Amino acid sequence: MNLEKIAARLGFREQSGVFVVNYKGYEVTLTSYKVPGALVGLPMLMFVFNQPLDKSQRKVIAKQSGLKGFVPESVGLIDNAFLSQANFKDQEKLNRYLDQMTEVFQSLGLKTLDYCPYCGQYETDGTRNIKGSIIHVHETCVKNFIDQVETHLETKGQSKEFMVKSLLYAVIGGFIGLIPSIIVLFATGFYSAWLFMIIPFAAFYGFKKGGAQKGSYVMIFIAVISLILAPGFMFYIYYADAMFYEVPFSEYLAVEEIRGYFVRDMIMSVLFTIISLSVAWKSIYKQTHGQIKKDLQALKK
């Protein structure tokens, strides 16, 4: 992907190391974004607003974005931005899309962030390139904000309160994530390894419901739970078959053909679980303290 060529085709200009265009009072940045599971970045349009986006606003924007995609984003640790695919053939088609989106932004009362997001003052003395967008800030505001967040991470962020509860809920969530696979198995007699992708998301949802702090280690818990449940479910299928035929499990696997299927399915369950974790990783990581620490580094320059 060559952002320079795309920027030239769509009428973006380079400013402070990023490609930007101002359209009807809204600043639009052309940036590169890796979707979960992708090997290369995709050209995306970034819109950064003067206020956090609530659920209702995100829903409206997502609906209007349509096939162009919608990825919520946080700039400066504020949920005030979103990304949209930039697969436009020419500037005319881009402008039609921007006409549609700016009308939505105006109806929602959203404006481009053009002041320090931490104090609300316009006269700034510094800038930050955050996730491909230039943000104007006060250096003192940035320092104070960083100190506050780091203090939080060192104190409350290290708390293990509700950890046992969250881990228990994560396991329950993982089991719930298995339900679609179980339903498909009983309905068709076959299993779908692709459905294993639900497990890490369901397990993380359960962890969040438990109320514990979402440290960067959470993903390790999710990975362990997923790598136990998916292969464990596959093992249970063959074990249940052995019980159905009333033969010891070891004797059941002694049959060469069955053993071959068993090994293949166990390998597939592990493989698809690893794939599901790679897909889920970025989405889950963005909600942990690991992402907060990474965003702080961008603020520090």
Question: Domain check: are 120 and 165 in the same one?
Answer: no
Question: Domain check: are 164 and 96 in the same one?
Answer: no
Question: Domain check: are 199 and 126 in the same one?
Answer: no
Lookup result for tokens 């070891």: 250
Question: Does any domain span residue 288?
Answer: yes
Q: Which residues contact 26 (CB under 8 A, 6 or more apart)?
A: 47, 98, 102, 105, 111, 112
| Predicted pLDDT at 181 | 86
Question: Does any domain span residue 144?
Answer: no
Q: Which amino acid is residue 7, in one-letter code?
A: A
How many separate domains does the chain show? 2
Predicted TM-score (pTM) of the model is: 0.63
Question: Does any domain span residue 301?
Answer: no
Question: Domain check: are 205 and 250 in the same one?
Answer: yes
Question: Does any domain span residue 142?
Answer: no
What phi and psi values does residue 178 have, to the nearest 5 degrees? Answer: -80, -20
Domain's final residue, options 135, 151, 181: 135
Question: Domain check: are 163 and 45 in the same one?
Answer: no
| Predicted pLDDT at 68 | 61
Alpha helices in the chain, H assignment, sequence order: 3-10, 55-65, 91-107, 139-154, 163-188, 198-210, 218-244, 249-254, 256-285, 289-300
Mean pLDDT of residues grouped by 10 in the chain (301 residues)?
Answer: 85 88 92 69 88 88 74 79 86 91 92 86 84 85 85 74 91 92 81 82 92 83 92 90 90 91 90 85 76 72 66
Question: Does any domain span residue 42?
Answer: yes
Question: Domain check: are 119 and 164 in the same one?
Answer: no
| Predicted pLDDT at 167 | 93
Domain's final residue, options 135, 169, 195: 135
| Predicted pLDDT at 120 | 82
Question: Domain check: are 8 and 130 in the same one?
Answer: yes
Nearest to 299 by CA among 143, 140, 73, 132: 143
**15: domain range?**
3-135
Rounded CA-CA distance 22/52 in Å is 21
Question: Domain check: are 129 and 237 in the same one?
Answer: no
Q: Are 214 and 289 in contact (CB under 8 A)?
A: yes
Rounded CA-CA distance 82/75 in Å is 9
Domain of 26, CATH number, reads: 3.30.1460
Q: Which residues contact 154 (CB under 8 A, 6 or more apart)?
A: none
Rounded CA-CA distance 219/207 in Å is 10
* CB neighbourhood size of 150 (10 A): 14
Question: Domain check: are 170 and 203 in the same one?
Answer: yes
The 3-state secondary structure of 72-85, one letter per residue: EECCCCCCCEEEEE
Domain's final residue, options 135, 168, 195: 135
